[in-house]
Structure 1
């Protein structure tokens, strides 16, 4: 975090400074990292005691002090020998401090902010942009999937006086949440990747999802840029609710930044990228899956708007071999068995994309095995979307389905009804059974995909299979 006095921090968060029992003054400067996790606290850091659904961060404040916290932001005073700022709501205070830090860094004239949202692909696109922009200047980007009302501010608070680029992943499970993050770190460039049924159950339907994602661009001005997916009608419609200049990305002719001549194989994806003005280049993209090409196009469009030359963008894209841990992560190799662990999360769109990739990378004479778990947070759409994936798996000719857990059982039933009558689809209750089944049936040359929502926990099964076939 940039250096601020205790008085400045208290003012930014509309809190009351509590210094009793300490040697600090209102002019004491704090410039450490900010966290809500006491286990991450180091000397000089700021600890926000956040109340959670199942626990209360105030319980861990003593541990934060023992580890060297220089300041606590709390909702009531604690008997601890460290400066404290007392606020009404620690999460609101976290956002307020981030807003002030962004304002101060931006006022120095160097900072450019890119916001990234969408039902799928946020983390991959953010990581690609980080790789591209780090070579151009000091860059801060969200860690992991830090994209909510806590993770967003913590990312923004990593800014320093030297930061030139902030890449902010902005997620939501309700209308208004992206708008809150946009107000905290207003983007110069806002990217909307895709609108699908991910979290549709929480949003209350697809139209509410569209409304929530459009918050990325509705407050952009005519001097700013909206990077929109030309191939997604719901995203494309957002051009009508923004004053920003629109830059399109996609596979179709409408796109300003476009990919053609796609070739998908087990080592990644190759494509030709065309930029505005006609410049083009062949990209050998090490991230597996045609769907990740769209993320690469979005990152490219934003980077071009920030003045990065196309050759430098291509070099950065080609240096990336993994989008993120547990996202189309290629493992295995023994007996030529490939394991693709894509079980960090799953929506109907990403599940379909992963299955299509599995079918595309299949070599003649080999088999494909899809180990699939539940797609969570779909609400009323859950049944029909699991049906759709079961049908797709059969129609793509996936050699063997292994469906894991009661939440995904309907997918198995649909696959059986569609045509998997001779054991091509198997249902098991848990990950241990799935491991035993896959290791018993896998043959040399097979490709195994593991895909589910995070809550289903199959990413650990993917790791286990990857290690078994290493």
Structure 2
């Protein structure tokens, strides 16, 4: 974080400063900010966030002993005399975290050349964030979220990593309900806002796809006047956001596969080593070999190229940098195992759209004589749509002629029943209550030439099953 005095931080978060021995209001703090006491080091700021499982106030003492210079708390915490720490008492630690992020970003922005990109969408946010960060890092110091730091805690923590020397901040905005993206994007008012797609991810929290569309529009509404909205021309719900951008005084740039897109992909070919296509931007045409598995990631690459272009990056530079990316992120279409048995671990997140895309990728990269094996778990946060969407994925798996459909977990049982009902009743589809049971089955079932997709929402825990399979068949 940038250098700030204790009194400046207290003013930023609207809190009351309680000084520890040796500190004064003008004592300067410039360490990292975190809500996890285990990563706090000398000079850092610990935010004691109450949580569902535990309360951060229990760890203020540990943070102080680790060298924290400041704790942001909702009530004073007594620490040992050997490890005192100044504390700022606030009404809400999470709101204070956001207020501090807003202040820090505003200061850096006013003093330098910081440019900010915000990314949202029902799927593809993390991949697009990583692709864009890879493009921008060769242009100047770039800050982007670690993993999927895109919620009310993760997004501000990412923002607080900016320094006076930071040139680009790439923020990923997720949401499980209305108003969340507006709050997060409002902290930074992006110069460029990217909307990837509107689907059924987290639909249970929003109440349907129309409400999801409205929530994703919140990013466009937060773009700075004179900024740019980078929109998916192939998604009608995203395309409808153009009028909102124009009302904000923002320009619109289109990416997609169709002819109306300003940045588009042609001649797309999917293989086991990635996806090849031709990127078209105006009169420019550039071949791209995207090593991240899955045809659906072409759209994420297009979005990253479009956003980078608005920040002055040439098409040849953007393409060359994208070709160095091997995986988008751990547990996201991550190749494991070996050529003998290839495991594709994509079990960090799952929605109906991403599940469908992953199954299509499995079908596309499997050669004649090889078997397609899908290890599938539940898709979470779908609310009233959960049953029918699990049915649809079960049907699709059968229709794609997946030779083995291994369904894991009680919450995914309806997917298994749909597959059986569609005609996968001769052992092609099997069901297991636990990942351990599925692992033992797969150890005996998998054979040379198999291509295995492991796909589920994070809560189903199949990412660890994918890792175990990858190690066993490496």
Q: Smaller-chain TM-score range?
A: over 0.9
Structure-2 residue corresponding to 1:219: 222
- 2:241 aligns to what SS in structure 1? helix
Structure-1 residue corresponding to 2:251: 245
Q: Which segments of structure 1 move beyond 3 Å, counting only runs of 4 or more? A: none
Q: Deviations over 1:260-318 (max 9, x none)?
A: 1111111111111011x221100011100001111000000000110001111011100
Structure-1 residue corresponding to 2:207: 204
Cα distance in structure 1, aligned partners of 2:343 and 2:196: 27
Cα distance in structure 1, aligned partners of 2:76 and 2:439: 51
Match of 1:296 among 301, 314, 321: 301
Cα distance in structure 2, aligned partners of 1:116 and 1:228: 10
Cα distance in structure 1, aligned partners of 2:51 and 2:295: 38
Check whether the contact 2:112–2:164 (CA below 8 A) recurs between aligned residues.
no
Structure-1 residue corresponding to 2:35: 36
Cα distance in structure 1, aligned partners of 2:330 and 2:277: 23
Match of 2:145 among 139, 142, 147: 142
Equivalent residue pairs, number: 467
Q: Residue 9 of structure 1: CA displacement?
A: 0.5
Where structure 1 has 5 or more consecutive residues not aligned to the other structure, the ranges are: none
Structure-2 residue corresponding to 1:259: 265
Structure-2 residue corresponding to 1:6: 6
Alignment of 1:328 with 2:333, yes or no, is yes
Check whether the contact 2:33–2:157 (CA below 8 A) recurs between aligned residues.
yes
Cα distance in structure 2, aligned partners of 1:246 and 1:395: 38
Check whether the contact 1:372–1:450 (CA below 8 A) recurs between aligned residues.
yes
Alignment of 1:25 with 2:45, yes or no, is no
Cα distance in structure 2, aligned partners of 1:40 and 1:14: 25
Q: Deviations over 1:86-116 (max 9, x none)?
A: 1111111100000000110000130000000
- 1:106 aligns to what SS in structure 2? helix
Structure-1 residue corresponding to 2:276: 270
Q: Residue 253 of structure 1: CA displacement?
A: 0.6
Cα distance in structure 2, aligned partners of 1:221 and 1:136: 22
Q: Residue 378 of structure 1: CA displacement?
A: 0.5
Written as runs of structure 1 = structure 2, the 5 A alignment for 1:322-361 is 322-333=327-338, 336-361=340-365
Q: Residue 365 of structure 1: CA displacement?
A: 1.2
Structure-2 residue corresponding to 1:283: 288
Q: Residue 221 of structure 1: CA displacement?
A: 4.5
Q: Deviations over 1:113-151 (max 9, x none)?
A: 000001111100000111100000011011111011111
Q: Deviations over 1:177-222 (max 9, x none)?
A: 1011111111000001111111101112211111111100023355
Q: Deviations over 1:415-470 (max 9, x none)?
A: 11111121111111111111122221212111010000000000000000000100
Instruction: State TM-score, norm by structure 1.
Output: 0.98
Cα distance in structure 1, aligned partners of 2:185 and 2:370: 48
Where structure 2 has 5 or more consecutive residues not aligned to the other structure, the ranges are: none
Structure-2 residue corresponding to 1:402: 406
Structure-2 residue corresponding to 1:15: 15
Cα distance in structure 1, aligned partners of 2:105 and 2:364: 44
Structure-2 residue corresponding to 1:92: 95
